[in-house]
Structure 1
Amino acid sequence: MFPITALSKQPAAVKKAADRGPVRITENGRGAYVFMSEQALKELIERERTDAAYEAYLLDAVQQGVADIEEGRYVTSREEMFRRAESRRARHA
């Protein structure tokens, strides 16, 4: 975090910090701006894209699980699970 005056008085320090990620710039002691390098912005956007894709994948998996339960596609015992797994394995062998 840097005061806004650091942009003119300590630009090298602000830029160095911005290379690592977002830097908060304060004005009158309160958060006012965020400064970052182009590379840090690209990395942040890519991380957010990856997170959003993973969240969509998880949401789809949960929705599929709920649909499976509603349609009765589930087992309630360990033995039944192994029996079904063995049956599937035998069909694909």
Structure 2
Amino acid sequence: MVGSCSVRFPINLEYLHRTHPHVTTYEPEMFPGLHYRMVVPKVTFAIFKSGKVIITGAKNKMDIDNAFNQVYPILKSSIKITEIL
């Protein structure tokens, strides 16, 4: 399954990559989004500066909900960093 949404705030992709290098891939010259790979549930996020989020690899809607609920606080933390910069 695939899910998508907007968190309705800008996301600092550089900050997310620096603070979570073991689960993220970010090469802005190749792709404008950051890939965030989650182990449980096994899903991958494509996260964009605009706040758009795409979730792939989920087995069911519950995986999408659980994954998003885990990553949302991490995305939210990038707001504070963006405001400081």
TM-score between the two structures when normalised by the length of structure 1: 0.26
RCO (CA 8 Å, sep 6+): is it higher in 1 or 2? Answer: 2
Which of the pair is proportionally richer in strand? 2
Q: Which has the higher helix share?
A: 1
